[in-house]
Amino acid sequence: MNKQCDNKNDRNEEHMAIYVTDEEQERVILVGVELDPADDCEKSLEELSELAKTAGAVTVGKMIQPRDSFHPATYIGKGKLEELRAMIQELGATGIICDDELSPAQLRNLEDVLDTKIMDRTMVILDIFAARASSSEGKIQVEMAQLKYRSTRLAGLGITLSRLGGGIGTRGPGEKKIETDRRIIRDRISHLSAELKEIKSHRDIQRQNRENSSTPVAAIVGYTNAGKSTLLNRLTDAGVLSEDKLFATLDPTTRALKLANGEKVLLTDTVGFIRKLPHNLIEAFRSTLEEAKYADMIVHVVDCSNDDYERHMATVYDTLKQLDVGDKPVITLFNKCDEFNEIPILKDSKADYVENISAKTGMGLDNFLMDIQDIILKSRIQIERVFPYNEAGKLQLIREYGQLESEEYTQEGIKVKGYVPAWVGGKL
């Protein structure tokens, strides 16, 4: 039984109906194709199992098939397909989740052969995002990604979209939408794009204001569940939801932090990255993720207690590259070091600074804050000069936008030492 909550007076929820279902928990079998042993399909399925759990499903079985390429019609080969059909019956599975994004043909063919609900990694991630997005921007971005994904799969999602029951793939737009044609979807995407453009314009103004104030910005990035929100909460009492779940928070949060030298820096939490992050999501969340692009430095949080942390780091750097994040100072924080009796020697060749920390206990954060100070100072120009007393007002610029280390009142004027942004130096 579904209860639809629709507040027509709320423009943000007008098209984002929330569905509550008391259906039994979905029982899924995870299916992966290993194209290269180095890809470690087993690890990828473990992560997919966590994603399924986050989306509300329980994993009852797994299947991996080594192949040179994905089967163009059915993702896996015919022999494995028969084996999978037997597993579904034996384990009482209500659906399968493939570890890669399925083509419309693969989706349709698998559904025809297996006569069960077919999902892929992208559908699960989109479903989680739909459940977790809270801001109007987040909801719009998720809906756009969902619509783009589903627009090419209207025919293939027959069973999935014709179901009235909840479950993965039915949150947000898409419920009962087998009859929705591409024209309606295209119109909806156009409408959402206009709303996003307006929001982006507002974000650009906010970003410009930050730049004009010359307050340095540090973008916190990392693999999902690495501890980014915990770090922000520890440093700024931001009150951001922090859970041991994948994609616990989606919406970016920016908080000010005062350093020991009196300098202020803005810390911005961003959405967590993940391997095989759907292309539509990267595109949809580009305006949000661009916080990293326009930041002065990158804070890369790594869960070093995870055995697969090196692959997670590679995923983060690959995603940053997709976002055209340029050459910026990087501080890598190897988080959750409190879980080790003896902290291992950890390295990141792409980082300018590396620290072992625990966002949970506060261990190592003093060194991290000193790294931020160092980056800020390196980005500024040093001044050492005497200002005539009739130019004493210029010292206020140094105090407001830079760091005034000393001032001495002499017969000639005020002798000053300090650091300022380049644009302030041009006004002195």
Q: 96-138 pLDDT, tens per residue?
A: 999 999 999 999 999 999 999 999 999 999 888 888 877 787 7
Q: Which residues contact 235 (CB under 8 A, 6 or more apart)?
A: 255, 257, 267, 365, 369
- The arithmetic mean of pLDDT across residues 2-12, rounded, is 42
- The arithmetic mean of pLDDT across residues 243-261, rounded, is 73
CA distance 19 to 6: 9
For residue 180, give the DSSP letter: -
CA distance 220 to 272: 9
pLDDT band at 12 (very low <50, low <70, confident <90, very high): very low
DSSP-derived 3-state class of residue 67: coil
Comparing 10-19, 162-171, 179-188, 404-413, the range with the smallest average pLDDT is 10-19
Residue ranges per domain, the chain? 2-184, 214-377, 381-425
Phi, psi of 356 (to 5 degrees): -95, 125
Residue 425 confidence (pLDDT): 80
Residue 5 confidence (pLDDT): 42
Q: Of 94, 98, 152, 92, which Cα lies nearest the Cα of 125?
A: 98
Q: Same topology for domains 2-184 and 214-377, yes or no?
A: yes
pTM equals 0.76
pLDDT band at 262 (very low <50, low <70, confident <90, very high): confident
Torsion sign over Cα 226, 227, 228, 229: positive
Residue 211 confidence (pLDDT): 60
- Annotate 315-328 with b (16+ C-beta within 10 A) or e (fewer): bbbebbeebebeeb
Architecture of domain 2-184: 3-Layer(aba) Sandwich (3.40)
**Residue with more model confidence, 186 or 117:** 117
CATH of region 214-377: 3.40.50.300
Beta strands (DSSP E) in 182-320 are 217-222, 253-258, 264-269, 297-303
CA distance 275 to 254: 25
